[in-house]
Chain A
Amino acid sequence: MAINWFKYSSPQAFLPLAGRMIPWFSVAALASICVGLYIGFFVAPTDFQQGDSYRIIFVHVPAAWMSMFLYVVMAIWAGLGLGLNARPSFMMAQAIAPTGAMFTFLALLTGAMWGKPTWGAWWVWDARLTSELILLFQYIGIILLRASIDDLRRADRASAVLALVGVVNVPIIYFSVKWWNTLHQGASVTMTESKMATPMVAAMLIMMLGFWMYSFAVTLARMRCVILDRERQPSWSKHSSIHEVVEAR
């Protein structure tokens, strides 16, 4: 996002900005998901090998992408927080984690729903599936570690370190289908070539865009909650104007 986060990193500036942006991202998310579903179910043809089960791709791939991408974004905010000692960066990382965990869970669930008809098994201990499952445990670990430390500064730092260390798993997930012989199929679409019919690719990319917009909207909304919740913590210096900002919205 082409936004100068430092300019808006103070809670007083962030709250109204987030309030203005969330509706736009929500509308964009809803519109692209509707278009994506329409193309995915009514324009894209039935796959000659997998029949209609392949349509799971329209939620599976966007969810899996978001699970990895949100982890990287969360780790970047965590790293910025550690490097600059910037509280808003830690708060962004905190706001992203639950959405990332949800998409990881959905990627695994929809993967199981696809694996059963395609491979005959809900689950196999394949490199792609196992590393994605580890990603879910990482998200849960980061959320629980934060929740288990009462001191906010310590919680910020500890969960940021855990998030940064865990980022090593993301390339492992991404390249697992190349590095190992996996049951999981390789990438159907890369930057240079596509193995799928045009409407299939279009539906998948539009759904991905929708999940992106959804993630922006919901993490910004959660960021607002995190700011307001922390504002009530005695450890955080009180800015009286934050109440006026909330009232003004």
Chain B
Amino acid sequence: MQWGSASEFFAMGGYGLYVWVSFGATAVCMVWEVLAVWRRHASAVAESRGES
């Protein structure tokens, strides 16, 4: 463990902005994609049922 404190961890040795934007953007995109597919599936199933 190399972090003395939480603020040291979030500072990332001065590179905090770059590191957290990278990880944050990746997390946002992946979660967003999962939710989008989820919604699309729900509506596809609903429409499929409505027609049958």
Contact = CB atoms under 8 A, between A and B. Distances in A.
A229 interface: yes
Most buried by B among A102, A110, A116, A225: A225
Interface in A70-126: 98-99, 102, 105-106, 109-110, 113-114, 116-117
* Size class of the B contact interface (CB-based, 8 Å): 20 to 34
B12 A102 contact: no
Given A105-B29, A218-B33, A246 B45 contact: yes
Given A52-B19, A228-B41, A243-B48, A59 B1 contact: no
* Size class of the A contact interface (CB-based, 8 Å): 35 or more
B2 interface: yes
B6 to A, nearest CB: 12
B33 A228 contact: no
A35 to B, nearest CB: 15
Interface string B19-31: 1011101100110
Contacts of A60: 22
Most buried by A among B30, B34, B45, B52: B30
A51 B48 contact: no
A157 interface: no
Contacts of A231: 48
B43 to A, nearest CB: 9
A196 to B, nearest CB: 16
28 contacts: A42-B1, A42-B3, A46-B2, A51-B13, A53-B12, A53-B18, A55-B15, A56-B18, A56-B22, A63-B26, A102-B30, A106-B29, A109-B25, A110-B26, A114-B18, A117-B15, A117-B18, A214-B30, A218-B34, A221-B34, A221-B41, A224-B41, A228-B45, A228-B48, A242-B48, A243-B51, A246-B48, A246-B49
